[in-house]
A and B are shown apart, each in its own frame.
Chain A
Amino acid sequence: MATVISNERLADGVYHLRIEGNYGGEMGQFYMLRAWGAYPLLSRPLSIHQVNDNGIEFLYHVVGEGTEILAKLGSGDTLTLEGPFGTGFPQVEGRIALVGGGIGIAPLYHCASELPGCDIYLGFSREAFRTEAFRQLGAELTVDVGGLILDSVDFAQYDHVFVCGPHPMLKAAQLKAIAAETAGSTAQVYLSLENRMACGIGACLVCSVSCHDGQRKACTDGPVFLSQEVIFHG
């Protein structure tokens, strides 16, 4: 059992959960969280927002019954965490851009902490959140509200681009990566996928991802994939 330090509402439906304890986790990995008994059935996969000696933090958007329960947690409440799971963003060097859309900014804060000097691009549809925290990391920060944050990023300026956001944004990032490569860019573009999961450890195949080399698992092979590996449907 883990204990909640705080669970702050940052914007409409967006919460910042801080949990005490000793946890590990690499950039882009996730934990399965559960703060209820038998219902909802499934635990919820949340990517690591930050992990350090003080505990672990998650940023989440309320989208269903599980996250609604999480949103009601307060200081001193308990929950269970399983993890860290997944293959996250690689430890890289060079010119790095972090590009997040909406709640997709969640794993990028951990990345920004680990990769000093990277440029950060954060896009929001209606309301910005956690931008000040990113700014305090000392990084070059671009924020867009209501537009398309990808339009602000020139992939050719970077060696590595980490992208996390909603499905249409990831598809758009893949197309942008292809266009940049065609124009001579050597940027390696990584996408963090947010697929539904049941087990989170690679057994159920619910989160299967179509890739050019066959079916892969978002929970163990990902959630981070190289842009050119993934085949997007729909």
Chain B
Amino acid sequence: MVNLSTQIAGVHFKNPIVMASGTFGFGREYGKLYDLNLLGGISGKGLTLHPKAGNPGTRVYETASGMLNSVGLENPGVPAFLEKECPHWEQLDTARLVNLGGGTLEDYVIGAELIQQDADDRISRGQASAVDMIELNISCPNVKEGGIAFGVKTVAAQEVVRAVRQATKLPLAVKLSPNAEDIAVMAQMCQEEGADAVSLINTISGMKIDVRRRSSVFNNLYAGLSGPAIKPVALRMVHQVSQRVTIPVIGMGGITCATDIIEFIMAGAAVIQVGTYNFMNLRAGSTLVEELEQFMLQENIASLDEIRGII
């Protein structure tokens, strides 16, 4: 037997495998393919206060070992999520992270307050919790206002993290952008403002040009690069940030196998998230849980604590 479990701010992760926001919907679709309770956690589709239609035009383009996306945070909005998805989420025996984006500071705060209110209402009714943690998204590169605008400048990010921290008692992770001025400084700021964890990295801003049409394939010109292509960058950033902060780091970027997970844990990650691999293998979650257990048995690793941050 190997011990795969971890705690972050009192939230139990039965294993370190969390499905990344934007690649997993709210879990319903993958839940038809395998048991979601096998997973360490789920980070739901990025939510904004109000519903968003997302970006027009091409939304995905494959690159060498990667994928550019420009979905643009299409989502039903926080109130619709609380009404329609939480009854499903409350049934799940896995850590549930709400990924919260925003167009303005006020949107972030109101969104966080609504999620907190829902949690309070459930507790007062004696119901089960439907949300374990808020993952604050200040790093979506595909929306014109908010998102990345907050995620690049440390001072702008500080204001959002501070305001959301005051708006909710729920455990708070802040999802960081690799496009930030200095991601380690950004992470340190998050810790100082009361974040319980940081998650990194979001996609890297990239581009694809259609040379025959002489234009970018994306209406927004740039798009977010993910997949195995970004793993070395993500791993380096997780390592750098882990050296700088004492709060847990949730690592992600191009993970497709058990050894990728182990690399991130050795770089200092508490848990990891799996994103693009969900598209390469629709049963990525269950595959990785099995592979990780097998790998640890083969390598005589009894617990992830043995190897966490050893680099």
Contacts and interface: CB of A to CB of B under 8 A. Distances in A.
Interface string A81-108: 0100000000000000000000000000
Interface stretch (A12-20, A33-41, A71-79, A170-178): A33-41
A196 B57 contact: no
Contacts of B87: none
Contacts of A38: 65, 228, 256, 280
A188 interface: no
Given A41-B280, A201-B29, A210 B256 contact: no
Interface in A194-234: 196-208, 210, 214-215, 220, 233-234
B279 A205 contact: no
Interface string B274-288: 001011101000000
A233 B30 contact: no
A204 to B, nearest CB: 6
B62 A203 contact: no
A218 to B, nearest CB: 11
B74 A205 contact: yes
A208 B75 CA distance: 11
Nearest to B56: A233
Contact of B66 (A41, A202, A205, A207): A41
A196 B60 contact: yes
Interface residues of A, number: 28
A65 B67 CA distance: 14
Contacts of A199: 23, 29, 278-279, 282
Contacts of B71: 204-206, 208
Contacts of A41: 62, 65-67, 227-228, 276, 279-280
B280 A215 contact: no
Interface string B106-118: 0000000000000
B54 interface: yes
A156 interface: no
A206 B60 contact: yes
A40 to B, nearest CB: 5
A59 B72 CA distance: 33
Contacts of A2: none
Interface string B46-76: 0000000110111110101111010100100
Given A203-B25, A208-B74, A198 B279 contact: yes
7 contacts: A38-B256, A41-B65, A42-B280, A43-B280, A198-B67, A201-B32, A215-B53
Interface of A: 32, 38-43, 65, 82, 196-208, 210, 214-215, 220, 233-234
Interface of B: 22-25, 28-30, 32-33, 45, 53-54, 56-60, 62, 64-67, 69, 71, 74, 227-228, 256, 276, 278-280, 282
